[in-house]
Amino acid sequence: MNPRNPDRDTHDPADNPLPDHLRWQLRELRRDRAPASDLWPDIAALLTPQASRKSTAFHAAPRRWALPVALAATIALAIGVVGWQQDLVRAPSATPSIAAVPYNAAPSLVQREAAGLTRQYQAALGEIDRVPSDPAPALQPAFDELDRSAQLILAALERDPDSRLLLQQLRRTYSHRLALAQRVAIS
């Protein structure tokens, strides 16, 4: 990397050279930008102590993610599924439904949490599906899209097994899917 050398191969015709003034204006965009809020409390909450870094302890999610998680937990509790958070730390069981989350020989903590999340999500969905309700064909594309999104996120977690961001996105997707299913069930 040569961040301070503006004269390197910028004149390669294949690069569609920029006028000098634009090139320098772009360089000036390289400046610090503090986050709007202090991120440290959320970061600190996610750091495992070095000595037990490989432990399976679950750490609290950042505040920004608290709302969708709380929503999902509320829905799950309302339909009789208990132990959302507790199950996140369990090792993956042989439950067939967990096959949706592929595992390597040694799944990461995030993958195990995703497995727990998937298991609880499927249990909650099963409970909702037992409630007799009229089909809602208008919402079917949304259901399909959310299911597809969940599968894509799970696939992305395979490639990036330590991404908490993907885990949070999985939570949000499951949360939206459950909320939608619940809406159909009570309407």
Partner 1 sequence: MAMLTAVIERPPQAPPAHAAASVDAAADERALVTAAARGEMAAFEALYRRHAGRIHGVIARLVGSHGARAEDLTQEAFVRAWQALPAFRFEAAFSTWLHRLAVNTALMELRSRGSRPQDHGDADALDTIGSADSAGQATALSLDLERAVATLPPRARAVLVLYDIEGWKHEEIATELGMAVGSSKAQLHRARGLLRARLGEP
Using CB under 8 A as the binding rule, whether residue 36 contacts partner 1 is answered as: yes
Instruction: Compare residues 28 and 134 and give the one whose CB is closer to partner 1.
Output: 28
Instruction: Compare residues 119 and 177 and give the one whose CB is closer to partner 1.
Output: 177
* Min dist. Cβ of residue 35 to partner 1 (A): 5
Query: Could you write out the DSSP letters of every residue in 60-114?
Result: PPPGGGHHHHHHHHHHHHHTT---HHHHHTSPP-S-GGGGGS---SS--HHHHHH
Of positions 20, 129, 144, 145, contacts partner 1 by CB under 8 A? 145
Of positions 77, 121, 126, 148, contacts partner 1 by CB under 8 A? 148
Of positions 11, 19, 105, 187, contacts partner 1 by CB under 8 A? 19
d(CA 122, CA 137): 21
Using CB under 8 A as the binding rule, whether residue 57 contacts partner 1 is answered as: no
Say if residues 88 and 117 touch (Cβ distance below 8 Å): yes
Spell out the SS3 assignment of 114-139.
Answer: HHHHHHHHHHHHHHHHHCCCCCCHHH
d(CA 142, CA 112): 27
Of positions 11, 35, 94, 138, contacts partner 1 by CB under 8 A? 35
Residue 48 DSSP code: P
* Min dist. Cβ of residue 126 to partner 1 (A): 24
Say if residues 6 and 27 touch (Cβ distance below 8 Å): yes
Q: Which residues contribute to the site for partner 1 (CB under 8 A)?
A: 1-6, 8-9, 12, 14-19, 22-23, 25-27, 29-37, 39-40, 42-44, 46-51, 53, 62, 64, 145-146, 148-149, 152-153, 155-156, 159-160, 162-166, 168
